[in-house]
Amino acid sequence: MIPVRGFEGAKIAVLGLGRSGLATAKALEAGGAEALCWDDGAEARARAEAAGLTLHDLTRREAFQGVAALITSPGIPHLYPTTNPHIARAYAEGIPVDNDIGLFFASFGAGDWITFDEPPRVVAVTGSNGKSTTSALIHHVLSEAGKPVQLAGNIGRGVLDIDPPVNGEIVVLELSSYQTELARALTPDVAVFTNLSPDHLDRHGGPGGYFAAKRRLFAEGGPDRAVIGVDEPEGLFLAGQLAEGPGDDRVIRVSVEQKLSGPGWLVFARKGFLSESRKGRQVGSIDLRDIKGLPGAHNHQNACAAYAVCRTLGLSPKVIEAGFQSYPGLPHRSQIIAEKDGVTFVNDSKATNVDAALMALLAFRNIRWIVGGLQKDGGLEGLSEGLGHVAKAYVIGREAEAFARDLGDVEAEVCTTMETAVARAMAEAQPGDTVLLAPAAASFDQYDNFEKRGEDFMACVKAAL
């Protein structure tokens, strides 16, 4: 646990008692604060009370009297589409609002660092797609290289729930826009921007607000090194804002769509080969084509970002390549779950938006595509580049018929349920085909989350094999 500093003896309200909220309350109390906990859900309140935490009803008129700050869980809207009423009251009464990420960065360096020969460092990864894989890949490579490392944030443990760092340790954080947009402190040593595509637009008031939430990770604290994906205009803009000139190696530009050139620090992948260039000279390369845990161009982008981070942390290209080779992949992200009679089964349930699904379609050929769910803003037009890889689509979800119509000329069968879709895809699959779950949609019409959807897919495949 990372004890929260700066609130000794103060009353701090904690709103939202999920994983991060419970960890936040305990970390506040470990730092000497009095945590006053609330959640509008009775079940969450009961869990907190059973854990020995103090409940404090924020709906009462005098609820914020004597409260020094409100710490809110990232999933609770603090501005768009509408401000949560408890947060709105805190604003009205002049009470600072923060989240666990802000508390983490304000408290992380307050331990026994004066005794460390090599201070611990924080790597923070954000972006629309690939941040989980990039974070997990960095963690894996560092761990395989024998470095002390922890993985937390939007993946793994809550940021305040990690162990106090040891000498030279690296903490790798995956941070969503929900986490970066409100944090009052953001000071990573290395910050990564993978890419940007439309997502969570209602929460951020549009694409500008969404990008602004990501950009805060770089603008608020000024990381020592920034790894920036430059295949979208926003990444180019961000890299341009951070660099003092073309040769500024504090900014490492990353691409999978173009061969980068110039005097700066560059990492790019073309036709499956990763290349690192500094001062106009190639200084490292890796053949990514046969690395099973990193299939497709989207994973090659993740590999480029992870490679760049590991190089800044002192690892050699050979050590990084060895870590890539042993990387098993993350569940629900281009995860090969079975192979039988020449047919490969891939679970990419995390492909909850069009851009992520497109990357999955481009990574494979002869696809029996299981798709559908709660469609997001923007429609499905962005999938057109990958549809030539699709032999047939098997559409799931409560609105499967409407979803199928939006697929245009792709042959599509309305299946509605995962069990039916898997059965139909397996019945029609030929050797060389890939049965791919890449929904291009949210899961909430049928499942609690994308993990449950992916688990259902794996269970259906296992039962049918």
Q: Characterize the bridge pairing of strands 367-371 and 390-396.
A: parallel
On whether 417 is known to bind a ligand per the annotation, the reply is: no
Nearest in space to 199 (alpha carbons), one of 112, 128, 97, 277: 128
Q: How far apart are CA 270 and CA 209, in angstroms?
A: 32
Query: Residue 370: what are its φ and ψ, rounded to 5°?
Result: -95, 120
Direct distance between the N- and C-terminal alpha carbons of the chain, in angstroms, rounded to an integer: 44
Walk across the sheet containing 34-38 and list its strands: 54-55, 34-38, 11-15, 67-72, 97-98
Say how far apart CA 351 and CA 61 lie, in whole Å: 43
Q: What angle do CA 244, 250, 255 make, to 5 degrees?
A: 100
Prior bond of 81 cis (ω within 30°): yes
133 assigned binding-site residue: yes
Does 131 carry a binding-site annotation? yes
For 132, the enclosing helix (H) or strand (E) is: helix 131-144
Instruction: Please check if 102 is assigned to a binding site.
Output: no
User: If you search the block for the tokens 């990763």, which residue do you land on?
Assistant: 274
What string of H, E and C letters represents the secondary structure of 85-125?
Answer: HHHHHHHHCCCCEECHHHHHHHHHHHCCHHHCCCCCEEEEE
* Largest Cα–Cα separation, the chain: 68
Which residues make Cβ contacts (< 8 Å) with residue 199, sequence separation at least 6? 128, 177, 210, 353, 376
Residue 292 marked as a ligand binder: no
Type of residue at 233: P
Q: Which two tokens stand for residue 19?
A: 């994983």
- Binding residue positions for ATP: 127-133
- Binding residue positions: 127-133
